[in-house]
Structure 1
C-alpha cells in the first residue's frame, strides 16, 4: 500500500483561516451600517421615504459599472492589494460619518456619498476576490470554502442586527458606524498578511477597456454553465426583490406585528441560512452539485407564496414569517454555495474579474427594478397576490437549469471542459 497524506482541511489552513476571520468580522460590521445609515437619515435628518429609498439604491448603483471595473481588475497583477485597497476605501469613507457627527455637520448629501463610495469599494472587492480566491483555495476545496464563508455571512445576519441595534442605542447611529469602519481596517490587516502566489495576468493591451468588457460579456453569453446560471439567478433576484419590497410592509400592516416581533422573527429565520450553508457541502456529496442548486432555487423563492397564509395569534403569525425566512435562507445557501464553486471552476483566470463584473451588472442591476415593480404591483394587485406571484415566479427560475449542463453536474470534477479563453486562443 502507498501511504499518501490526506489533504489538509481548510480549517487548518492558516492562510484561509486568516482571510476567513477578516471577512467574518467585516460581515458583522456591515450589519451595523445597514441599520445605522437609514436610521441617521430618518431620525437625525428627518428624510422622507423616497429619500431613504434612493439612499438604498445608491448602495447598489456602483454595480452597474461592475463589468468595466472587472475588466480593469483583470489586467492588474496584484489582486490582494486591490482587496486591501477596497477595505481601506470603505474604512475611510465610513469614518467620515462619526467625524462629521462630532462636528455636527452630517448631511443627506454626505450619506449619499458614503453609500456610493462604499458601494464602489464593494464592487472593487468582489471583482478582485474571484481571482484571489483561486490562488488561495484548491479546486477540490471550492465547495468547502464557499460553505465556510457563507456560514459566517449567514451568522452575521442572525446576530448582526441585534449587535447593531444595541450599539446604535448605546453609542448613537453615527458613532456605531465607527465599529464597521474598524472592521474593514481589521479585514485589510488580515488579508494583507495572507501569503498567496497569484495567477499570472494575461494582458491584451491592444484592446480597449470597453472591448475587454464586451469580450467578458460575450464569454458569459456563450458559456453553457454561465449563461444558464446568470439567467437563473437574475430571474430569482428580480422576483425576490418584488417580494422583499413588500415583506416588512405586509408583516407590519397586514399581520399587525410590532417592529420588535418582526425583528425577532427575521433573526430566528436567518438561522436557516446558517444551517443551509453548513449542510450544503454534505448535500453536494449526497445528491450532487446540480440537484443541490436546483433544490436551492425552489426553496429560496417559493416560501414567499405561503406568507399570505399567516393568521391566528400574534405569535403564530410571527412563526409563519420566521418559517418563511428560515426556509428561504436555507434555500439560498443550497443555491449559492455549490453554484459559486461551479462558476469558479469554469471561469478562465484571465476573465474572472470581468465575468464577476458582468454577473454583478446584470444580476444586481435587476434588483432595484424588482423592488420598484413590487411596490407598484402591491398597490395595483394587492400585497398578498403579489407575494404569491413573486414566490412562484422566483421558483420557476429553475427552468433555466433543467435543460442546461448544470442539472447533470454531480461533482466539480465532472464538469465539462472549460471553453477556450478568448484572450489566449487567438
Structure 2
C-alpha cells in the first residue's frame, strides 16, 4: 500500500481510538463533575445522535458533490475544538450540562460528515484492486479501537479526571486532521457543484 494509505489508516486509528475514549469520558463528565441524573444522561446520549439523525442523509449528498479531504480535515478540527472546550470550561469551573449537550451535538454533526466522507475517500488513494484490502485494514483498526478505546478511556478518567481525559480525543482529532491534510489524492466529485 502507498504512503498516502498508511497516513490515512494512521489518521483513522487516532480518530477511532479517541472517539471511544470520549464515549466513556463525556457521560462521566456529566455524572462525576456536574452530578447529572438519569434524565440528563439520557439527554446527553440523545444529543450524541442528533447529528446522524439530522445530517446523515444530506451529508451523503453533500459529500458526493464536494472534495472529501477538506470535509475530513474540517470535521476533525471542528470536533477537536468542540471537545477541548470541555476541559477548559471545567478548569474555570464554568462547565454546564448545556455546554456538554452542545459539544455532543457538534461532535455528532462532525462525525456524520466525517463517516460519510471517510469511506468515500478511500478509492481516491488506493486502486480498485487494493480496495478490499484497504477496507479490511480500516475495519481492523475500527475493531481494535472498539476493543481497547473504552478501557483506555476509563483508565484516563481514573488517572486524569473525566474532563482532562477528553483532551485525548481532541488531540486524536488534531493528529488525524494533520495526517489527512498530508494525504495526496486525486479526487473528482461526482455530483457537480
Alignment of 1:178 with 2:170, yes or no, is no
For residues 142 and 104 of structure 1, do their structure 2 counterparts lie closer, same or farther at Cα, with a shift above 3 Å needed? same
Q: Deviations over 1:64-99 (max 9, x none)?
A: 2222222222222x2101110000000000010010
Compute the RMSD of aligned alpha carbons.
1.4
- Deviation for aligned residue 1:200: 4.3
C-alpha distance in 1 between matches for 2:191 and 2:25: 42
Q: Deviations over 1:282-327 (max 9, x none)?
A: xxxxxxxxxxxxxxxxxxxxxxxxxxxxxxxxxxxxxxxxxxxxxx
Alignment of 1:155 with 2:148, yes or no, is no
DSSP 3-state at the match of 1:139: coil
Alignment of 1:89 with 2:83, yes or no, is no
| Structure showing greater Rg | 1
C-alpha distance in 1 between matches for 2:19 and 2:63: 24
Contact 2:64–2:189 (CA<8 Å) still a contact in 1?
no
Partner residue of 1:73 out of 49, 63, 66: 63
DSSP 3-state at the match of 1:104: coil
Contact 2:76–2:174 (CA<8 Å) still a contact in 1?
yes
DSSP 3-state at the match of 1:195: coil
Gaps of at least 5 residues in structure 1 are: 1-9, 206-426
C-alpha distance in 2 between matches for 1:83 and 1:150: 18
- Deviation for aligned residue 1:61: 1.5
DSSP 3-state at the match of 2:129: helix
C-alpha distance in 1 between matches for 2:18 and 2:62: 28
Contact 1:63–1:119 (CA<8 Å) still a contact in 2?
yes
Paired residues in the alignment total 192
C-alpha distance in 1 between matches for 2:169 and 2:163: 11
Partner residue of 2:4 out of 1, 12, 15: 15
Alignment of 1:187 with 2:176, yes or no, is yes
* Partner residue in 1 for 2:126: 137
TM (norm. structure 1) is 0.44
- Deviation for aligned residue 1:141: 2.0
* Partner residue in 2 for 1:24: 13
For residues 33 and 195 of structure 1, do their structure 2 counterparts lie closer, same or farther at Cα, with a shift above 3 Å needed? same
Q: Deviations over 1:249-289 (max 9, x none)?
A: xxxxxxxxxxxxxxxxxxxxxxxxxxxxxxxxxxxxxxxxx
C-alpha distance in 2 between matches for 1:202 and 1:43: 47
Contact 2:18–2:170 (CA<8 Å) still a contact in 1?
yes
Contact 1:131–1:199 (CA<8 Å) still a contact in 2?
no
TM (norm. structure 2) is 0.94
DSSP 3-state at the match of 1:145: helix
Gaps of at least 5 residues in structure 2 are: none
- Deviation for aligned residue 1:51: 1.7
Greater RCO, 1 or 2 (C-alpha within 8 Å, sep 6+): 2
C-alpha distance in 2 between matches for 1:32 and 1:168: 9
For residues 202 and 31 of structure 1, do their structure 2 counterparts lie closer, same or farther at Cα, with a shift above 3 Å needed? closer
Matches within 5 A, 1:209-228: none
Contact 2:65–2:189 (CA<8 Å) still a contact in 1?
no
Aligned structure 1 segments of 4 or more residues deviating by more than 3 angstroms:
none
